[in-house]
């Protein structure tokens, strides 16, 4: 009698090996489709990326990128941010919406960095998630893009595409992170995150995906749900935040 445990069922009923091969094929094609994929928040230091990511909640990357140069020119490090005049910072952050709450969050984050990490952004997930307003998603953005530490960033686009592509049926972001991460080598996690987010913003939209021009439609179990006509589908394409 075999002592091997039976394989866990996959989201699409394919074998675990077939799922892994399909998942990796999808990422290879998306890598070819989006060779410039990267974080769409502008930054030059880990602190700038951390703050920009926190500020990006409930607004667009475009607005954050238009606002942070003024923010960091005025308050260039954690000590300066922690000691900022709230009223002055509110005026800088006003274009982002929720500017009072975002001012409190930015100052509180900077104060925590000073108190716990001497003003430096830590390069470990377990440290980052202890900071106010920083969860696994934000931590993985910072780790992957500022420190080169592989991580999967499960935002709304990543979660939606992971389920549409049949990579997982999980809804909880942490479970999505672990389920999808198991299909890829850790070294590929950060770029995988960029590929799926870029594809979600440009082609695989929430309400009406442009399936007729999708480069990975042949490997997608949901490819029949969107616009099939190539001409009509092409009109649905979006340039993304930098377009």
Catalytic residues: 137, 155
- Of the candidates 172, 171, 156, the one whose C-alpha atom is nearest the C-alpha of residue 204 is 156
Round to whole Å and give the CA distance between 10 and 69. 45
- Which stretches within the chain are classed as H helix? 16-33, 46-55, 61-74, 78-82, 86-93, 99-117, 125-128, 136-146, 156-164, 173-181, 189-202, 230-234
Round to whole Å and give the CA distance between 140 and 148. 10
Q: Which residue has the tokens 């530490």?
A: 149
Half-sphere exposure of 71 (CA within 13 A, CB side): 32
- Of the candidates 9, 23, 16, 30, the one whose C-alpha atom is nearest the C-alpha of residue 166 is 23
């Amino acid at each position: 009698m075999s002592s091997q445990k039976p394989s866990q069922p996959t989201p699409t009923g394919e074998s675990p090996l077939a799922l892994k091969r399909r998942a990796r094929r999808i990422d290879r094609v998306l890598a070819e489709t989006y060779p410039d994929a990267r974080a769409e928040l502008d930054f030059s230091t880990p602190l700038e990326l951390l703050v920009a990511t926190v500020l990006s909640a409930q607004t667009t990357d475009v607005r954050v990128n238009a606002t942070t140069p003024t923010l960091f020119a005025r308050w260039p490090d954690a000590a300066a941010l922690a000691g900022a005049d709230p009223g002055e910072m509110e005026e800088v952050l006003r274009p982002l919406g929720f500017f009072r709450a975002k001012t409190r969050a930015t100052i509180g984050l900077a104060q925590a960095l000073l108190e716990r990490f001497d003003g430096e952004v830590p390069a470990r997930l377990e440290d980052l998630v202890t900071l106010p307003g920083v969860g696994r998603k934000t931590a993985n953005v910072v780790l992957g893009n500022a420190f080169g530490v592989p991580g999967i960033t499960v935002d709304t686009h990543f979660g939606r595409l992971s389920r549409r592509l049949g990579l997982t049926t999980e809804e909880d972001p942490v479970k999505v992170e672990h389920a999808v991460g198991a299909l890829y080598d850790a070294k590929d996690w950060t770029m995988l995150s960029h590929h799926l987010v870029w594809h979600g913003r440009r082609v695989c939209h929430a309400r009406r995906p442009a399936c007729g021009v999708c480069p990975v439609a042949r490997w997608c179990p949901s490819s029949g749900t969107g616009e099939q006509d190539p001409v009509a589908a092409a009109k649905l394409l979006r340039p993304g935040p930098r377009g």
